[in-house]
Structure 1
Amino acid sequence: MNKHNILNEIYEPLHKKVKSIYKEVVDNGYKASIGWYNMHSVKYNDDFLTEFFPIPIITIESIGDIGLNIDSIFFETTISREKALEVDYASLIEKYSIEVYGADDYLTDFYNKNMLLSDIKTRIQGSKETQICIALYFDMNIETNILLEIISVFI
């Protein structure tokens, strides 16, 4: 198999999936755009790796990004400290993998899978961050309507 066919086997499903999600996002009244971006840092088995290859990202104006990795989907948003203190993290963590971290110092974790859920708000209150980033991770087969429900939590 040549390299073009290998890449097409990877990228064609991503292309179709991002177009499908984008259509539903726009059909639900959100202003959005699609781009393909490389150089993401992702955590695999507690190590950070740089993805030199581009992945599709749907940017939803004033809300956040939906990104499609090769084998998963993520949603990232940045919200005010005050709004971050109001989020019901327990209900999100119950269903999804989530990380909460600083916007200025993105290496400052307020929550990851190795931390206690009960400490999120105390960590946020004790920080100097004015903006908080939240990332949720999903199986590639998550339904778009569920993504839209999650996005609505952060509006």
Structure 2
Amino acid sequence: MKQRMQILNDIYRPVYEYLQSLLKALKELDYDYQWGFYNNHSMREDNQWFLEYYPIPVVTIKNICDIGIDMNRTFIEFKMKKEKAVLFHWEIISDYKFEVYGVEDYLSDFYNAALKLDDISEKISRSNEKEVGIEFEFSYLEDKSNLLNMVKKLESMGTYIL
């Protein structure tokens, strides 16, 4: 039993320490946030979906986005109204690794690395979705300044969560 606990501690310790430093930075920037450990995230790897049974920390920044700290990556998720997404200039974020998907049908991809950037707006327009989900993927324990810069961009874009 001790050995399994040590393995989990070795996995979660850097994640938790990173989380604490991220929360401190958000507090210093006066963001309103909540956080908790959540399980049952779906993650795609090599075009295959996996359910993560284990909990990961997720920070919800009120009215902007979620930041998730996963075991092999950090991600930022948020939503955008369909009308705004159809008119959005997707090329301005093309330097980032991101996905656009349905909110009602989260397995419905409007964009990912295997799809063309050109027709996101058309796909969204044809869908029955009222809003789309967008996720930026970053490296494991990404430099906090990169995440905070992205949060500021999202705040100016009028994204939201919940």
How does the TM-score come out when normalised to structure 2? Answer: 0.87
C-alpha distance in structure 1 between counterparts of 2:129 and 2:151, whole Å? 22
Contact 1:79 1:154 in 2 (8 A): no
Q: How many angstroms apart in 2 are the aligned matches of 1:130 and 1:154?
A: 19
Identity %: 33
Q: Which runs of 5+ in 1 are unaligned?
A: none
Give the CA deviation at 1:141.
4.1
Q: Distance in 2 between matches of 1:153 and 1:79?
A: 14
CA RMSD, aligned part only? 1.6
> TM-score by structure 1 length?
0.91
What is the rounded CA distance, in whole Å, between the counterparts of 1:22 and 1:89 in structure 2?
A: 29
Tell me the distance in 2 between the aligned counterparts of 1:99 and 1:71. Answer: 17
Aligned length: 154
Aligned 1:4-153 pairs, distance under 5 A = 4-94=5-95, 96-153=96-153
Give deviations 1:65-104, integer Å, cap 9, x for gaps.
100111210000012123323444223232x211101111
In 1, Cα distance between the equivalents of 2:128 and 2:154? 21
The structure showing larger relative contact order (alpha-carbon pairs under 8 Å, at least 6 residues apart) is: 2
C-alpha distance after superposition, 1:85-139 (max 9, x if no partner): 3444223232x21110111121221101111000111111222211110001001
The answer to whether the Cα contact below 8 Å between 2:56 and 2:69 also exists between their aligned partners in 1 is: yes
1:117 partner amino acid: L
What residue ranges of structure 2 are gaps of 5+ in the alignment? 156-162
Question: C-alpha distance in 2, partners of 1:22/1:79?
Answer: 24
